[in-house]
Amino acid sequence: MKNLTLEAFKWIHEEWKSTGLSIRDYCHNIGFEESKFYYWRKKLTEAMLPQVNGFVPVDMFHRNGKPGMSATGTSKEPTDHVPSEVVYPNGVILRIRSELSQETLRSLILLCR
């Protein structure tokens, strides 16, 4: 598959996910090099991440016994419990659906260092 595009790989990636096979088995079955699959998966993950230049400051707050955070400079703190996400540089996304202590949240954020 010469001249593969990111759009073409998206289709391959979706097909792989629907099979339930390991990457190794899927690549073997379709005659695709496993190393190229990982290369393109990384490119796909990077393309899906928000493009942020530099550090995004976050204000941590504690209201009614619940931790929260908002981007610095936002005019309103969230009032409803909204699931949070921590996106690590390797593309792993940690979705937090329950309430955490500030210390636990801090530890999860520091894992990306």
Residue 71 in domain: yes
Which pLDDT band, with edges at 50, 70 and 90, does 109 fall under? Answer: confident
Cβ–Cβ under 8 Å, residues 66 and 99: yes
Burial of 21 (0-12, 13-18, 19+ CB in 10 A): middle
Mean pLDDT for all residues in the chain: 75
Looking at the DSSP bridge assignments, the partners of residue 66 are: 63
Q: How many domains does the chain have?
A: 2
Apex CA 66: angle with CA 101 and CA 95, to 5°?
65
Looking at the DSSP bridge assignments, the partners of residue 96 are: 84
Provide the whole-model pTM: 0.45
Residue 1 in domain: no
pLDDT at 74: 42
Host domain of residue 87: 58-110
